[in-house]
Structure 1
């Protein structure tokens, strides 16, 4: 895989504890592999093969392929949309912004909050037939677990323009709709929006706004998950990708599938694959404890590029696409 430069994305964090987010405004620096990983893990398509077969795998590939199709690295590592992305019709732009908002919530969660596992609430709910109360239609998008075991809840948004007051209020309302996960109060419940503010030079690089007000909604729900099922559900898309990628090779303790037409490699620690496979064959109890023990052997600061806190790897070879200068420096910002 080709060497990569890093994206540089500014974030603004409101109301987070200073012990967690030291600077209200700062840069997140990450390679395109991190974006591919976040696009993969934040999808909502179910991975229950008994019900859906392998068809949901194509949803994962579609999401990941959005990066080389529509995103570019501009001057100074700024994350820009390609001209093609801005020429999409309105509904397509909404879909792209929505997906990008989820992915950047994933990048922010891992890089700033040390979240190791992040999942769409609806994916867990559909996989394990979780039924929510009908008293409220509002529900946060994501939930996840940090390296220290604490839980987070995130409401993800995306806009092709700026974040206005109305969207901020919607994030504040929806991020506080889950008050407990597996009987534990989340450490953080925040809203996260990826947007494209217009700078003085006329360009619109991606930026992140994250908000963590402390209040819960009156109708906030409890999320009755089990940690073992959470881990099983988290890794199922990765195992499906390994199965769909043709012959698997072992490389440095990872099982790896190579999707050559997509210039993409996906891998998972062999020890994690073996344990999750046992869970799929009926040995579910103790899965969370076993997997986190296996992951504790990793030193986060020593992880190579394209390797992640969850024991997975995603490597891309998208330099030719990401560095294309098919984006306009000056344009009128899209509004919706």
Structure 2
């Protein structure tokens, strides 16, 4: 399994054990699950169906083309990533920042759901001022809100970037009138030994002007699953399978050797599915979304340059 190294600071209370440097065993299924489920800002585009399908393929392609597993198991840049020009690397780094923010939120913060703040732009434009805002709003398994700003860098760690993330995470004071339990800032970056994630939960800044996002849990969850439904709807002949008594529709991205399982029943109430690595190639996340990978994603293959991998 690939290894994610993270560095956590300023977490208190029940999250104090996060503090320090730790290695987290992940899987390519979990990384793909995070890539597919983080943000979902494009739900407006997703209403057009085919574009949601393109988006799903694009998110998986980012992982496939730009990451490898080293002989020691660390996540490293691929030669394809190294060959990109600086602006392209910046775009990919942004997405990697989101992907590993989602993975960390799931594995260490018990937060299955993260949506882009801009999903609710029309509702809160009058509340927030200026350009400073966080990337993500999250809902944890207990029904508490979190705010998360995720950043990614092509180069190494830069304190000023993480400081910016900390500030943006504090821009929202309440969601639906309730104060978030966490305001997290994170930074994904590369060192010579591979990918690192630095993550902090700065103390709340009580001096900030009150800024509220008008949002209910039900609306949040409806938006979260909207893009998946739109993507599967394009494939009207998508096969159906059962998972622990629940019916799933399967979206197959055949060229990428990936299948995405989406629950048929609308999930408008908070319900956490026990996350499980079903076998060496299938994972169901706590949000109920399933990712199944074919042989193209084997450890042997993912340790190769993407240009010579077999499918």
TM band (smaller chain)? 0.7 to 0.9
TM-score by length of 2: 0.87
Partner Cα distance (2:306, 2:48) in 1: 38
What does residue 196 of structure 1 align with? 190
Contact 2:175 2:215 in 1 (8 A): yes
Deviation at 1:113, TM superposition (A): 0.5
The alpha-carbon distance between structure 1 residues 207 and 18, as it changes in their structure 2 partners (threshold 3 A), is farther
The alignment status of 1:15 with 2:5, answered yes or no, reads: no
What does residue 82 of structure 1 align with? 78
Partner Cα distance (1:44, 1:88) in 2: 25
The alpha-carbon distance between structure 1 residues 220 and 314, as it changes in their structure 2 partners (threshold 3 A), is farther
Contact 1:119 1:143 in 2 (8 A): yes
Deviation at 1:58, TM superposition (A): 1.9
Q: Deviations over 1:111-146 (max 9, x none)?
A: 000102111111x225x6542435332100011111
| One of 60, 85, 109 as aligned partner of 1:64 | 60
Partner Cα distance (1:187, 1:136) in 2: 24
What does residue 302 of structure 2 align with? 322
Q: What pairs with 1:10-49 in structure 2 (closer than 5 Å)?
A: 10-17=5-12, 19-23=14-18, 24-48=20-44
What does residue 228 of structure 1 align with? 218
The alpha-carbon distance between structure 1 residues 51 and 113, as it changes in their structure 2 partners (threshold 3 A), is closer
| One of 141, 147, 157 as aligned partner of 2:151 | 157
Q: Please give the secondary structure, in 1, of the residue aligned with 2:6.
A: strand
Which deviates further from its counterpart, 160-169 or 36-45? 36-45
Partner Cα distance (2:143, 2:259) in 1: 29
What does residue 186 of structure 1 align with? 180
The alpha-carbon distance between structure 1 residues 76 and 48, as it changes in their structure 2 partners (threshold 3 A), is same
Partner Cα distance (2:210, 2:100) in 1: 25
Q: Please give the secondary structure, in 2, of the residue aligned with 1:190.
A: strand
Deviation at 1:10, TM superposition (A): 0.9
Deviation at 1:246, TM superposition (A): 4.6
**Structure 2 residues without counterparts, runs of 5 or longer:** none
Number of residue pairs matched? Answer: 296
What does residue 232 of structure 2 align with? 242
Q: Deviations over 1:38-88 (max 9, x none)?
A: 112224542236975542442332122111111111122111111110110
What does residue 87 of structure 2 align with? 91
Q: Deviations over 1:215-265 (max 9, x none)?
A: 336245211112211111000111122222452222223221222122111
Which deviates further from its counterpart, 221-230 or 13-22? 13-22
Partner Cα distance (1:49, 1:71) in 2: 27
Partner Cα distance (1:57, 1:132) in 2: 33
Q: Say what the alpha-carbon RMSD is for the aligned residues.
A: 2.4
TM-score by length of 1: 0.81
Q: What pairs with 1:115-134 in structure 2 (closer than 5 Å)?
A: 115-122=111-118, 124-125=119-120, 130-133=124-127
What does residue 307 of structure 1 align with? 284
**Structure 1 residues without counterparts, runs of 5 or longer:** 1-5, 199-203, 277-286, 328-336
